[in-house]
């Protein structure tokens, strides 16, 4: 399916649980340079449906099958995409909305929950990249060091990809703590202790700010949850089943 966000085409996949009349849904966000059909994202969504929730996975601006250029994506654009998708699923008749995200998608899910705490029932975050705004203010983007006060027009990142300088400018203005402090719903955070992108310490420090949060540290797991997917799915399934 396609969701239109002010002229930007967002490619999405809606999948229902065993009960087709279920009105609970999880909106699932992928990470930086990823897409909705990455295996670990599909596996996480499967566990959510096994717990009795519908899921909607979608490609964000500049990624996967959605519109926009990768180099021009920013956190603001991803936030806007997510808010548009929230409106769309509400128009579909879903009445209980949850957000889930991996890495940069986890950060965006947390930011949107802080903006719409009355609409978001709960959060499932996997290796959330809470540190991105602080890194932008320090001038460090995935190991590319820049002058944070004199941002270049183009920044080389991973996989021969580049970012527009506006990515950094936008990220520098965001205060993750404010969004986290505003959200009072239940939160599940999954983190691998061998994640070489997002450190467990950075996630743990932010998790302490939530009023109702469980952080599950998976031994031997990486940033992409590719070593112990069954463990990831079990934790998600059991936690979400207990939230009903």
What are the pLDDT digits (tens) for 161-174? 999 999 999 999 99
By the 8 A CB rule, do 36 and 28 touch?
yes
DSSP β-ladder status, 162-164 and 154-156: antiparallel
Percent of the chain whose predicted confidence (pLDDT) is above 70:
100
Q: What is the CA radius of gyration of the chain?
A: 17
Percent of the chain whose predicted confidence (pLDDT) is above 90:
95
Q: What is the pLDDT of residues 72-125, one digit of tens each?
A: 999 999 999 999 999 999 999 999 999 999 999 999 999 999 999 999 999 999
Which pLDDT band holds residue 214 (cuts at 50, 70, 90)?
very high
Mean pLDDT of 209-230: 97
Which pLDDT band holds residue 155 (cuts at 50, 70, 90)?
very high
By the 8 A CB rule, do 133 and 178 touch?
no
Q: Taking 80 as the threshold, does the pLDDT of residue 14 lie above it?
A: yes
Which pLDDT band holds residue 142 (cuts at 50, 70, 90)?
confident
Look at residues 91, 94, 95, 85 and name the one whose alpha carbon lies nearest to residue 36.
85
Residue with tokens 């320090």: 138
Q: What angle do CA 71, 73, 74 make, to 5 degrees?
A: 125
Q: What is the pLDDT of residues 28-38, one digit of tens each?
A: 999 999 999 99
Number of alpha carbons in the 13 Å side-chain half-sphere of residue 200: 14
Which pLDDT band holds residue 144 (cuts at 50, 70, 90)?
confident
Distance of CA 169 to the CA centre of its chain: 20
Look at residues 209, 166, 168, 217 and name the one whose alpha carbon lies nearest to residue 190.
217
Mean pLDDT of 203-221: 97
d(CA 29, CA 126): 10
Q: Domains for the chain: give ranges and CATH numbers.
A: 2-131+186-242 (3.40.50.1820)
Give the pLDDT of residue 166: 97
Task: State the chain's mean pLDDT as an integer.
Answer: 96
By the 8 A CB rule, do 163 and 171 touch?
no
Give the pLDDT of residue 131: 97
The beta-strand segments (E) located in 47-164 are 54-58, 96-102, 120-126, 140-141, 144-145, 154-156, 162-164
Give the pLDDT of residue 20: 84
By the 8 A CB rule, do 123 and 113 touch?
yes
Which pLDDT band holds residue 158 (cuts at 50, 70, 90)?
confident
d(CA 180, CA 21): 32
């Amino acid at each position: 399916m396609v969701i239109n966000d002010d002229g930007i085409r967002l490619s999405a996949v809606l999948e229902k649980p065993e009960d087709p009349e279920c009105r609970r849904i999880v909106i699932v966000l992928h990470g930086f340079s990823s897409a909705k059909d990455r295996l670990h994202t599909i596996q996480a969504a499967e566990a959510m449906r096994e717990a009795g929730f519908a899921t909607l996975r979608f490609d964000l601006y500049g990624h996967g099958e959605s519109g926009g250029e990768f180099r021009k994506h920013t956190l603001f654009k991803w936030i806007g995409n997510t808010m548009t998708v929230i409106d769309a699923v509400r128009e579909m008749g879903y009445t209980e909305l949850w957000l889930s995200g991996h890495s940069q998608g986890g950060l965006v899910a947390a930011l949107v929950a802080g903006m719409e705490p009355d609409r978001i029932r709960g959060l499932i975050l996997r290796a959330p990249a809470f540190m991105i705004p602080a890194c932008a203010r320090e001038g460090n983007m995935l190991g590319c060091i820049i002058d944070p006060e004199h941002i270049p027009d183009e920044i080389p990142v991973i996989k021969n990809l580049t970012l527009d300088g506006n990515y950094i400018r936008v990220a520098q203005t965001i205060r993750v703590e404010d969004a986290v402090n505003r959200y009072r719903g239940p939160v599940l955070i999954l983190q691998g202790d061998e994640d070489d992108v997002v450190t467990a310490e950075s996630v743990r420090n932010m998790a302490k700010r939530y009023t109702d949060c469980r952080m599950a540290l998976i031994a031997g797991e990486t940033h992409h949850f590719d070593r112990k997917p069954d463990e990831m799915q079990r934790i998600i399934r059991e936690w979400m089943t207990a939230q009903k």
